[in-house]
Amino acid sequence: MASTPIERLTTRGIAEVVGVSQPALFRHFAARDDILAAVVDTIREELGTAVAALLNEVKSPLDRAERLFHLLYDTASERPGLVRLLLADTATGEGTEYRAALDHLSSLQEELVTSLVREAIEQGELPSALDCRDAARVFVALAQGTLISRLRYANTPERQLSPEVTMRCWRAPLAAGEPKHDEKAPPTFPPPTGVLKRLDALDVRPILAGGDDPLGQIRRRLAGLAQDGALLLTAPFAPRPLIQLLGDRGYRLALEQRQPGLYSLLISAAAAPPLMDLSDLPAPEPLERALEETAHLECGQARLFRVPKQPNLLLPRLTERRLSHEVALYEDGAALVHVRRPDEGTEPGQQA
């Protein structure tokens, strides 16, 4: 059905192709747009796995971006209906059920390429005056234009724009320092202000529901962590490209599926203490173990615990011992507790 215009696509036609009755289809999906949203979500997850493998194989940031472009091109070539879906959504501008999923695909590309261009600048492959965000937006625009060219001229390959030509047209201006960063514009990632956190939490599901990719927000939260801090991420799927990118940056990562369709990713800075999991212990053992483990902490030392619920009894005991502590909650009610002995001359809760 890849050649069927979106406006002519019906649940009856989908049911016939799949080989089920229309009522059977409605037992799983309320409407046609729900089916399309599920298709886009499936492709997004497949792309995430493929992108993670790509990032693992290729180390140069610009080569990673180019391989990403070819991956997108090959995926769309195998699924021309995805490009038709994108074009139909853009043409109507209506708030369809699958629009957020489509928007997230574009946002994911933009955030990932922004990160790769920034890495290329840090490694000296590109001029420092380059605007990472604009470079990524040009990448996305070129990717979409190349895919549209392939779809439009499907029967005349000689008129199609090849991905190799497109990538040369993208990389050449970057090497020359274009698009330049506007020195008057505020920085994309302003330096953190105030006290750095030692424990933070971010649920990316509302961000994804809005059609955005959370990578930029995650980078901001990580920039606000202390050197021994950790970020607890909640997501509806395993964010494999993010895991690869942050692993390259020296973060320790622990991924768990805590419920069906719900994942937690603990992102620990290089100096963060290892996680001590006390969540399976019966009360009052988590409290006793946490107090025992923190009883002899020296200045600057820290511990990170997972306990079965909000540690309301533990926190006052830690405060009595003049230990700093921060808490982050899991979706299922469990909690992370970061405990630290402040440096000399620093009150509990102040930045050391």
CA distance 13 to 352: 64
CA distance 44 to 41: 5
Q: Is the domain of 23 the same as that of 10?
A: yes
Q: Is the domain of 223 the same as that of 268?
A: yes
**Given this model, what pLDDT does residue 24 score?**
80
- Residues lower than pLDDT 70 in the chain: 1-8, 83, 86-98, 183-194, 345-352
**Given this model, what pLDDT does residue 98 score?**
66
**Given this model, what pLDDT does residue 95 score?**
46
Total-model pTM: 0.80
- For 196, 251, 291, the CA distances from 228, given in Å and listed in that order, are 10, 11, 20
Q: Is the domain of 287 the same as that of 141?
A: no
**Given this model, what pLDDT does residue 37 score?**
76
- For 100, 130, 177, 234, the CA distances from 212, given in Å and listed in that order, are 8, 23, 27, 15
CATH at residue 15: 1.10.357.10
**Given this model, what pLDDT does residue 145 score?**
87
The two beta strands, 262-268 and 252-259, are antiparallel
Q: Is the domain of 145 the same as that of 106?
A: yes
How does pLDDT run across 239-270, given as a tens digit for each residue? 999 999 999 999 999 999 988 889 999 999 99
**Given this model, what pLDDT does residue 277 score?**
97
**Given this model, what pLDDT does residue 166 score?**
93
Q: Is the domain of 89 the same as that of 209?
A: no
CATH at residue 315: 3.30.110.40
How does pLDDT run across 146-158, given as a tens digit for each residue? 888 887 887 888 8
Q: Is the domain of 254 the same as that of 308?
A: no
